[in-house]
Amino acid sequence: MKKFLLPIILLLTPSLLFAAGASTQLEGNFQVGPAIILITILCVFVLVGVVFRAKDTADFYAAGRSISRVGSGMAIASNWMSAASFLGMAALMYGTGYHGLAYVVGWTGGYVLLLILMAGQIRKYGKYTAADFIGDRYYSQGLRAVGAVITILISISYCVGQFGGIGLMFKWILGIDYAIAVIIGGSVVLVYTLISGMLGVTKNMQIQYVIIIVSFLIPLFILTFKFDYFWLLPQIGYGSVVSDIVSGVPITETAQMFNALGHEYAMVPSPEFAMPWDTASGQSFFQWIAIAFSLMIGTAGLPHVIQRFYVVPKARDARWSVVWGLFFISILYWSAPVYAAFGKILSANPEVGKLAKDAIVVYTAQLGNVNPLIVGLLAAGGVSAAFSTVSGLLVAGSSAFAHDLYVKIINPKASPKMQLLMARLGTILMAVIVTLLALKNWALIAQLVAVAFSLAGVTIFPLFLLGIWWSRSNKQGAIAGLIAGLSVAAISLTYFIAGKEGVTLPYHEFVNYWLGAWYFAWIGAPLAILANIIVSKLTPETPLEIRKFLVLNVHS
């Protein structure tokens, strides 16, 4: 069947050529061209998912360990490049300038930690899921269950931002209400994940990476060319755009350049866009550092990222897949700030009005008069980014539910068919919860996603770090570390949710600043590590067989 796939894709491709809409309005109408592009791309995803669908449980969880290094790197990148990367980062930089770069640095710098401290060792440990590792390393079914629940919570938290992004893009393309868009988009990604499983997902991720990166880059060349910057390498060419924003763009110099609404390409000096922790952004030096640090350790503790290392054949492949993955990710991360910079100038005129920051990537392309066909492809790329991540997250979450909770704890004699059924039920349940939370629209996409990173940073990261590198770390220490980390998370998230629901708790300003929902790991992770070390030292040593396994299998 695989040999029929290419012709089918080629047959579908011509529809792209007829898909150009001619809308100059920023939003509100059904956009025919982008809608056709989106549907075409989704059809391709489902087709690929069907062709490479999971045949059994091992396939569903870990793609049969048959993925190459570069392929796995692409899958890591695609899995990683979510709506938060595609839409959210530009949104943050558009709104808060240099502060947004904390997310760029945090989300890439974490891979260095992940590689040096964990990637190879995780593969050598040879487990399918994060909870598997925790249960095994800390010889506790209870901790396995807690690990599974944490994985599910992280996946849900991460997915909320993605569903928000899917909703925004479906809203923009279909011209429908945000709530309906979230429900439609959520349903489509759920069906897709259920059909394809992880094998399909991994193959799809490679295709998705290409679509995401191509759709993201094309408008940048056009924008830099149109507005007379160095366009051969927009990721460098936009340096002058940033400097123009800082010094201001007078009208005379740019008399021939207009945005799609007919406004001159001009703006008053706005150094706050580029200057660090500017008072105008409302963000401080501490917050920059705390966010970058939290995102870095969160990266090294995210279950769906760690899970990618189980699908490569060897530890060496796991390591090199990180290099490839980070390189592929960086291509997008070098590019996202370009949208923020152009968006800043192109939306400077008061007539543009207040734009939804999370859709600034698409608005920038529209305001820059980029061909509607290409803008449609860009929006579809945003949906793809969210899809690729959501499917990986749903698989990680449902694996935790079916494999770690159901099979390992509730029903060890479950047949493979029953396991697959439970995985699919878990996927549906998670998708419903995520949709309900996404409808709340509590924060920007990138901020919602950062919550998942902090949660991973205070729970899974300390368990993996000490579990791999310190054999003295034992069950009691792990429990103490989890209690410490989860307590910090509980305080932070209680204040965050209470604030969003209009409830003012005591010392809310203090807690919201020092334990912000998107960066509480800056203190939570060190506390969890400290608690783990102290309690481990005070309690009996880790059993010999585990220490032996660590020495002979993981570090040999």
Partner 1 sequence: MESNQNDYHISFFKPTTAQAKWNRNLAIKLILIWAVAVFGFHFLLRAIEKPTPEESYVKYEMVWENILAESASVEEMQIFAHSSLSVIGKVFIKPEYKTALNNAVSWTTFQLADSSQKELLIDKTKEFEKLKEEVTSISDPEYINAKNSLSQVASSILGLQNSDPRILIVSFSLISTEMELFKAENKDMIPTIMSTYLIHNQSFLTDFKFLGFPFHYFYSAIFLLVLFVFLCWLYCYRVDKMNVKLDIDE
How far apart are CB 303 and partner 1 at their closest, in Å? Answer: 21
How far apart are CB 460 and partner 1 at their closest, in Å? Answer: 18
- Out of 170, 192, 216, 333, name the contact with partner 1 by CB under 8 A: 333
| Residue 260: strand, helix, or coil | coil
Among positions 405-464, residues that touch partner 1 (CB under 8 A) are: none
Kindly state whether residue 175 participates in binding partner 1, applying the rule CB under 8 A: no
- Out of 14, 28, 142, 269, name the contact with partner 1 by CB under 8 A: 269
**Conformational region of residue 23, where left means phi above 0, alpha means psi within -120 to 50, and beta covers everything else:** beta
Question: How far is residue 222's CA from residue 1's CA, in Å, rounded to a whole number?
Answer: 38
Angle between helices 141-174 and 130-137 (to 10 degrees): 170
- H or E element: which one contains 547? helix 544-549
Q: With 0-12 CB in 10 A as exposed, 13-18 as middle and 19+ as buried, what is 226?
A: middle
How far apart are CB 522 and partner 1 at their closest, in Å? Answer: 11
Q: Which two tokens stand for residue 387?
A: 């899809």
How far apart are CB 229 and partner 1 at their closest, in Å? Answer: 8
Kindly state whether residue 326 participates in binding partner 1, applying the rule CB under 8 A: yes
Options 39-47, 348-356, 370-378, 436-444: segment touching partner 1 (CB under 8 A): 348-356
Instruction: Check if the beta carbon of residue 12 is closer than 8 Å to that of residue 32.
Output: no
Among positions 350-389, residues that touch partner 1 (CB under 8 A) are: 350-351
Instruction: Check if the beta carbon of residue 325 is closer than 8 Å to that of residue 115.
Output: no
How far apart are CB 266 and partner 1 at their closest, in Å? Answer: 4
Question: How far is residue 486's CA from residue 74's CA, in Å, rounded to a whole number?
Answer: 33
CA angle 189, 80, 212 (to 5 degrees): 70
**Size, binding site for partner 1 by CB under 8 A:** 87
Options 173-181, 342-350, 491-499, 514-522: segment touching partner 1 (CB under 8 A): 342-350
Question: How far is residue 219's CA from residue 179's CA, in Å, rounded to a whole number?
Answer: 28
Q: Which is nearer to partner 1, 304 or 357 (CB)?
A: 357
Kindly state whether residue 142 participates in binding partner 1, applying the rule CB under 8 A: no
Q: What are phi and psi of 258, to 5 degrees?
A: -135, 160
**Conformational region of residue 415, where left means phi above 0, alpha means psi within -120 to 50, and beta covers everything else:** beta
Options 126-134, 219-227, 323-331, 522-530: segment touching partner 1 (CB under 8 A): 323-331
Among positions 298-317, residues that touch partner 1 (CB under 8 A) are: 314-316
Question: How far is residue 410's CA from residue 394's CA, in Å, rounded to a whole number?
Answer: 21
Strand runs labelled E in 182-268: none
Question: How far is residue 207's CA from residue 412's CA, in Å, rounded to a whole number?
Answer: 36
Kindly state whether residue 117 participates in binding partner 1, applying the rule CB under 8 A: yes
- Out of 14, 28, 116, 417, name the contact with partner 1 by CB under 8 A: 116
Q: What is the dihedral of CA 319, 324, 330, 332, to 10 degrees?
A: -130
Among positions 210-229, residues that touch partner 1 (CB under 8 A) are: none
How far apart are CB 539 and partner 1 at their closest, in Å? Answer: 16
Kindly state whether residue 232 participates in binding partner 1, applying the rule CB under 8 A: no
How far apart are CB 344 and partner 1 at their closest, in Å? Answer: 7
Instruction: Check if the beta carbon of residue 150 is closer than 8 Å to that of residue 455.
Output: yes
| Residue 363: strand, helix, or coil | helix
Kindly state whether residue 64 participates in binding partner 1, applying the rule CB under 8 A: no
Among positions 490-519, residues that touch partner 1 (CB under 8 A) are: none
Kindly state whether residue 528 participates in binding partner 1, applying the rule CB under 8 A: no
Instruction: Check if the beta carbon of residue 84 is closer than 8 Å to that of residue 161.
Output: yes
Q: Which is nearer to partner 1, 34 or 234 (CB)?
A: 234
Kindly state whether residue 550 participates in binding partner 1, applying the rule CB under 8 A: yes
How far apart are CB 404 and partner 1 at their closest, in Å? Answer: 24
How far apart are CB 101 and partner 1 at their closest, in Å? Answer: 5
Q: Which two tokens stand for residue 536?
A: 């481990």
- Out of 90, 292, 385, 395, name the contact with partner 1 by CB under 8 A: 292
Q: Which two tokens stand for residue 277?
A: 């922790």
Among positions 465-494, residues that touch partner 1 (CB under 8 A) are: 468-472
Among positions 235-264, residues that touch partner 1 (CB under 8 A) are: 235-240, 242-243, 246, 248-253, 261-264
Kindly state whether residue 68 participates in binding partner 1, applying the rule CB under 8 A: no
Kindly state whether residue 347 participates in binding partner 1, applying the rule CB under 8 A: yes
